[in-house]
Structure 1
Amino acid sequence: MRKTILCLMALLLAAAPSLAEELKIGAGAAPTENVLKPAKTAFEKSTGVSLSIVANGPKQAFVDLDRGSVDAAAAGLSYDDWLALLKKEGVVVADPTAYKPVIIGKDKVVVIVHKDNPVAKLNKEQLTGIFSGKINNWKEVGGKDLAVLVVWGSLTQGTNSMFIKNVMDGAKPSSEVIPASTAEDIRQNVAANPEAVGIGPQAIVNSSVRSPETPEVARPITLITKGAPSAKVKKLLDFIKTTEK
């Protein structure tokens, strides 16, 4: 009986699929939507490495990398802008040279509105007014007589900081917002509310929302590791490089 049980256990173990090696990346909205999600299925099939995307924003992604709970962190910011964001958020980076940055893509920060919103174009002054709360009705910018509802993401700090810096010229965003978390959550909130407006990476635009013409905000997408990239991270970097258009 004991031999039979041992044989059965051996057969079950042999038949069970081997556990895939896991690569864990903490990421902001831009790398999640533009690079990691689109690459995930093909990367896993090509390498046998399971890609786990933790969409927790650039601040927490960096903190997790520093703690060793993720293999790499990624954000829609240059490394210098990332460090500036961390300083503003109260995160102390003792030795910036300990982290190795590499550009893995490029992205635009876009403004999204409900698909039925007729506003076709917004300039910097109008956007600053909308997102600071000074413009509170769409009719002030050529839209319908509807109150403006700003959707603001708590896990899209890279997107937020780039927009505030390049479009709003440092003006403070309104405190009266619909709170959201990820870029996908922002899109869902905008799609569900005809009065809503939000910002996010270009990849979140789909048939449920529109992106009016606005001043362009282009940014790099940066991945960092603590020390040299591990073999798993190198596989991802090589895959991204070979699949770039």
Structure 2
Amino acid sequence: MSRIFSLAILVIGTLFSWAASAEPISLHGSTTVMNMLVLPNKAEIEAASGQQLEIVGNGSQRGLADLLSGKAQIAMISASLELEVNKINEKSADLISPGRLNAHAVGEARVAFAVHPSNSVKSLSGAQLADVLSGKVQNWREVGGPDLPIMVVTAQPGDGLRTMVEGRLLNGDSVSKDARAMTNATQIAKVVAQVPGAIGIVAAASIDASVVRLATDVEIVQPLILVTLGPETQEVRRVIDAVAKFGKFPKQSRNDG
């Protein structure tokens, strides 16, 4: 009896030792992907994949940098891989070779523009919106609104949502140099709700009753993508498959090189 008990203790101890030594899968990058897909479903993703997750929301471009440096096994990005790579390579020529990276689309989000409820401006054309976000228009009265200075609230440079707007709406130009850049995308709507002259670049799904979604003829669809470097391990592959189940469309994988 004592021999059986000792054997059971040995088996249990071995299992615990294996679990403790197993390295978590690290996902770094887009706070949009993190907040919309990964964090809300973390327990289910870990259960389905059999892997523990280590999650860092530090922006799409920083996530790619961490992937390349070995700090992360998966980068989360919320703009096309081509856009993100081009942005990075503009700063340091040919730093990233797209052919080394594999993009796995796991969902999508609509980009929206939020204003304070008291703002009488409820809609803008694409051209007006571009002028507001770029800083060309600096007061709401210039677009038929109140005499209030405009505060653009957005994510940090390198964030996928910001990159999508700069690439698709501003033709590659940057948002206003005076924009207030938030470290976490979830903070943007909160700031807009407190500042009457603010306009925020947000994921449509994050808009609540504290702000108003600005109507516009511009539609920007933001891809939610997981990126890996070279062939994935089985453990990483299981995490990608598990995350994809919570996206808005079936997972597709491709090499963007």
TM over 0.5: yes
Residue 155 of structure 2 contacts residue 184 of structure 2 at CA under 8 Å; is this kept in 1?
Answer: yes
Contact preservation (8 Å) 2:78, 2:225 = yes
2:234 to 231, 236, 240: 231
Structure 1 stretches of 5 or more lacking a match? Answer: 1-9
Distance change (3 Å), C-alpha of 1:47 and 1:121: same
Deviations 1:95-124 (A, max 9, x none): 432222111111222212223334221111
Letter paired with 2:236: V
Counterpart of 1:186? Answer: 188
Match of 2:69 among 53, 59, 67: 67
Cα offsets for 1:190-231 (capped at 9, x unmatched): 222121112122232223222211210113222111111223
Query: Unpaired segments of 5 or more residues in structure 2?
Result: 1-8, 249-257
Per the normalisation by structure 2, the TM-score is: 0.79
Listed one character per residue, the Cα deviations across residues 9-43 of structure 1 (whole Å, up to 9, x for unaligned) are x9xx96x8954752211121332233222322321
Instruction: Write the distance in 1 (CA, Å) between the matches of 2:35 and 2:135.
Output: 28
Equivalent of 1:157 in 153, 156, 159: 159
Matched with 2:110 is 108
Q: How many residues of Structure 1 are paired with residues of Structure 2 in the alignment?
A: 236
What is the CA–CA distance in structure 2 between the aligned matches of 1:102 and 1:191, rounded to whole Å? 34
The aligned counterpart of 2:80 is 78
Identity %: 27
**Match of 2:204?**
202
Shift in alpha-carbon separation, 1:27–1:217, aligned structure 2, 3 A: same
Pair 39,47 (structure 1): closer, same or farther in 2 beyond 3 Å: same
**1:242–1:152 distance in 2 versus 1, CA, 3 Å:** closer
The one of 199, 210, 223 equivalent to 1:220 is 223
Structure 2: distance between partners of 1:94 and 1:135: 35
AA aligned to 1:216 is E
Q: Distance in 1 between matches of 2:86 and 2:75?
A: 16
TM-score, L = length of structure 1: 0.83
- Taking the aligned partners of 1:94 and 1:147, their CA distance within structure 2 comes to 39
CA-based RMSD of the aligned residues comes to: 2.8
Matches within 5 A, 1:35-46: 35-46=37-48
